[in-house]
Structure 1
Amino acid sequence: MLVKTFGSAVFGIQAITITVEVNIAAGTKYFIVGLPDNAVKESYFRIESALKNTGYRMPRQQVVVNMAPADIKKEGSAYDLTIATAVLAASGQVEANDMDRYIIMGELSLDGTLQPIKGALPIAIQARKDGFKGFILPKQNAREAAIVNDLEVYGVESITEVARFFNGETQLKQEIVNTREEFLNSLCNYDSDFSEVKGQENIKRALEIAAAGGHNVILIGPPGAGKTMLARRLPSILPPLTLYESLETTKIHSVAGKLSVTDALVTVRPFRSPHHTISDVALVGGGSNPQPGEISMAHNGVLFLDELPEFKRSVLEVMRQPLEERRITVSRAKFSVDYPANVMLIASMNPCPCGYYNHPEKECTCPPGTVQKYLSKISGPLLDRIDLHVEVTPVNFSELSSERLAEKSEDIRDRVIKAREIQTERFGNKPELHANAQMSPQMVRDICKINTAGQTLLKKAMEKLGLSARAYDRILKVSRTIADLSGSEEIKLEHLAEAIHFRSLDREGWAG
């Protein structure tokens, strides 16, 4: 008897429906075809044990399993339930009447219970698009799949529940999630706040400018000055995620298997902080079984690289294209997948190996030339993509011991949102642009116009401070953002002066 069931394969953050055909005929062997990987081939042993331990039987005849389309590689153990259900139907143990109306996915344990799968959300989205009535999957993944409307989602704990459901012996409980309510209830729910940071008003101002214009930032300062603490609070002042951004971010985390059982949506902007020993593939994504990298996991949020010069040169260089195009394309001989990578980069570093160059109290112990050599680990092209260079100085005792609470993240976020609204109106005819940092050089010339006094100030600053040519466009972009924060239509002298202040690493002689 021939029976068809349906599963799904995930490529990038998109899903493709897979048809699983099972035919049972005279013979004795089990065959599985359609470009399965080892995990899929091993499903026979899991399915046989699961059926035996739940009171069903594996047919002692020839069983042929075909997974179509055959030119797409089928990976992972999530097809166990799809194949097992088809085997039960083909052998007459389960009714197959409505089976073709559902996507069925899940990894089987030997006792017949189900283990969670990856990519439940993109699979559910594709199931609705393809007109399926429902999606049967492990209970642990039910909430993330249930945020897709107009699709019945059933979370099950074992293959017995699925068999009894198709036999009409029991009804499965539909998982229902109110997507908008779930989204609004958890919006802007951050664990840390800028009000907890003592002093460092200059750094907070720099991060506010960065958040308002989507600018990348590098913080340079000695150990213990608060670089990491400040960076971790940056997401709390970014504009809240839109529902579309939340869904897109959730898809990436779903594919990577990083959503918890209780989470249906990612409702706060991600903050990813990979260790400096990370490989280039782990950062940008890919691998033999393609997975999103840390850059894509930080999509619509913040990627924090602590101790930037300690990262391998090859790892830092692969970031150039994603930071520019805000998308990662992983190309291999037989496939190509795209991952979104719209991130804000914030990096931190010590000014030298000992950490105390330019320290107000402690003396640097590095030999001559070491500081420049340390800074040269960061290539010019990467530094070119960072708009704000901020020097972080230690907080003195009086500020640390002060009982006065600093400004809350919520208040700073309100100003950032207003500045972003101005930019949205400015780029209204270019939906791919969301912030000043994304402007092209030609747009900088058209939008960031300055008067004669401003030109004179910028010229003197470049000559006196020895600013590099690449600093010119960056200063104009940042000054435009500062003007937006102050509600000014024109870029004024004070806006330019503040932007010039945030170009530390471009100053000639900064590192001796």
Structure 2
Amino acid sequence: MWQLAAMVLEFSTWSRNNQWVQLQVSMEPGYKFQWVGRRDGHQIPQRLHAAFRTFGWKWPGKRITVLTQPPADLHAGSDAALSVAVLVGSRQWPIRVQEVYSLYGSVDLFGKILPVPGDVLPESWPASSRFHLVPMEWKRHFSGNNAVVGVGTLQDIQNFLHHGMRRDQGASVQKKEIIWPDLRLSEDLQWFFLVVAAGAHPCFLMGPPGTGKTQMARLWWKLLDVTCEGGQFLEPMPPRSAHVPIGSWLERTEGGCLFLDEVGEWPLKALEALRKPLEEAQCSTLYIAASNPCPCGFQGHASRPCTCPPGRIQAYQRRFSGPFLDRFQLYAYVQADPSDESVVWSEVRHRLKRARAMQSKRGLGLNGQLPADSLGKALLVQEAAWTDLRLWQQRTGMGERSVHAVLRVARTMADLEESVGVQPRHIRLAAHWHWSNQGLISKSDLWGPAHSWSTLGAPRSPRPQSSQP
């Protein structure tokens, strides 16, 4: 006979009786959650799963048993300790916990760490714990104690445990080297990846499941966070109705990255409701959308055949209206090929540093987030490049928003090549990556002809005007 060994993790947490106790969490194969001695334990997995989904994690399918030593009456203040144990034990956090940490705080449905009303501040800390992670509201009372770490969300806890990064001081302790994954992309996609990262350009990704769309989004945020110290990564649950709490999502990213996954499955009115908020958020937040290419998801897959009829594939891809796609400056079809070369992270970081330095020297911000009135100050466009851009606009019928998107992307390409001016090849490649070259135009007019586009008639963007550089 053989038996699978259980993983047991242990953390200190603050109890209802105002004392530190050890929270022991055992994880093994199975599908049951049991908190020994706690009557309200049955609702904890559902509550924490909702909080995990905010950041792209989930409650695992494991047999999880929780015990406190000594036995104590715990409340929601133990949420933080339990969440860390579950995420580390299920390997969703690639962290090896080699020390004992003290964690306190309740976790709301958005993943925020909050104190429990009425709880008394501890007068001492467990001697076995090197660091004590508490809500930001409590950190103010222990500002002189460097071992007390203030956290605002579950993402803050992961950043501290994994990278030694802490938000309460704007600096890091025990700074660890960031481990970059083995990302394999084609030569074109590697250049696309670099352009998005350098300019923080909103982009739309389409491709079969498992091709790396989510990984690319997380890495863009990671590169943005490392170079600009910016915000949180948020991957909200897809909505089931036309109501989309986009304002709350953008606020919770704090200028980080908003990843909208599986938008092909969203209700049409929910997609259209994103248009205005995304346009307003462009100057402060990197937002990325991703979708499968068809209902079954495997159109264009290297090994799995697609089972969708051609008409259904076309209808699925044309759910996205022109005004919705116009909120994204770049589009790419993502495929996985084992023969693709791995991304060389040292080279990526070096080129990003040089490109960001050129943008910083202009003092206008990142290219993808430039306001329209600042765009002209950042551009040095050759006359031949302007001619190519206006010919493209005339041929496609795109409006000025699309022209601005192409110019922003072209400016980033020039920065990556350390070119002072935008050249014709930059314009042509930026136009090639624009969504209008992919055949993705909706036939739906949910809000009437005054507010949407249709492939049944001529595009409703303004006619291009002659312009001099």
Q: TM-score, normalised by structure 1?
A: 0.51
Deviation at 1:342, TM superposition (A): 3.6
* Structure 1 letter corresponding to 2:351: R
2:352 alignment counterpart: 416
**What does residue range 466-481 of structure 1 map to in structure 2 within 5 Å?**
466=396, 468-469=398-399, 470-481=401-412
2:236 alignment counterpart: 274
1:232 alignment counterpart: 218
CA gap of 1:482–1:155, structure 2 versus 1, over 3 A, is: closer
User: Conserved in 1, the CA contact under 8 Å of 2:207 and 2:293?
Assistant: yes
2:437 alignment counterpart: 507
Deviation at 1:499, TM superposition (A): 1.0
CA gap of 1:283–1:203, structure 2 versus 1, over 3 A, is: farther
Deviation at 1:315, TM superposition (A): 3.8
1:20 alignment counterpart: none
Deviation at 1:407, TM superposition (A): 0.4
Distance in 1 between residues matched to 2:114 and 2:265, nearest whole Å: 39
**What does residue range 99-178 of structure 1 map to in structure 2 within 5 Å?**
115=77, 116=105, 137=121, 142=134, 144-145=136-137, 148=140, 151=143
1:22 alignment counterpart: none
CA gap of 1:146–1:471, structure 2 versus 1, over 3 A, is: same
Query: Is 1:218 equivalent to 2:149 in the alignment?
Result: no
> Of the candidates 323, 336, 344, which is equivalent to residue 278 of structure 2?
323
Distance in 2 between residues matched to 1:342 and 1:279, nearest whole Å: 27
Deviation at 1:152, TM superposition (A): 5.9
User: Conserved in 2, the CA contact under 8 Å of 1:238 and 1:416?
Assistant: no
Distance in 2 between residues matched to 1:322 and 1:199, nearest whole Å: 31
1:447 alignment counterpart: 378
Equivalences, count: 317
> Of the candidates 229, 235, 254, which is equivalent to residue 299 of structure 1?
254
1:497 alignment counterpart: 428
* Structure 2 letter corresponding to 1:406: V
* Unaligned runs of at least 5 residues, structure 1: 1-48, 52-109, 125-134, 157-176, 250-269, 286-292, 328-340, 429-433
CA gap of 1:323–1:147, structure 2 versus 1, over 3 A, is: farther
Q: Rg bigger for which structure?
A: 1
- SS of the residue corresponding to residue 204 of structure 1 reads helix
* Structure 1 letter corresponding to 2:219: R
> Of the candidates 183, 188, 191, which is equivalent to residue 197 of structure 1?
183
1:438 alignment counterpart: 369
User: Conserved in 1, the CA contact under 8 Å of 2:136 and 2:168?
Assistant: no
CA gap of 1:118–1:507, structure 2 versus 1, over 3 A, is: closer
Deviation at 1:491, TM superposition (A): 0.4
Q: TM-score, normalised by structure 2?
A: 0.55
Q: Deviations over 1:343-402 (max 9, x none)?
A: 21122212232445566887765445434432333333331111001122341x444xxx
CA gap of 1:225–1:493, structure 2 versus 1, over 3 A, is: same
Deviation at 1:308, TM superposition (A): 1.4
1:183 alignment counterpart: 171
Determine what percentage of the aligned residue pairs are the same residue.
Answer: 28
User: Conserved in 2, the CA contact under 8 Å of 1:282 and 1:294?
Assistant: no
Distance in 2 between residues matched to 1:342 and 1:510, nearest whole Å: 27
Deviation at 1:155, TM superposition (A): 11
User: CA RMSD of the aligned region, Å?
Assistant: 4.5
Deviation at 1:453, TM superposition (A): 1.2
2:463 alignment counterpart: none
Deviation at 1:186, TM superposition (A): 6.5
* Structure 2 letter corresponding to 1:484: D
Distance in 2 between residues matched to 1:443 and 1:198, nearest whole Å: 36
Distance in 2 between residues matched to 1:187 and 1:374, nearest whole Å: 46
* Unaligned runs of at least 5 residues, structure 2: 1-15, 19-71, 78-104, 126-131, 149-164, 442-454, 456-469
* Structure 2 letter corresponding to 1:493: P
CA gap of 1:363–1:445, structure 2 versus 1, over 3 A, is: farther
- SS of the residue corresponding to residue 385 of structure 1 reads coil
CA gap of 1:211–1:154, structure 2 versus 1, over 3 A, is: closer
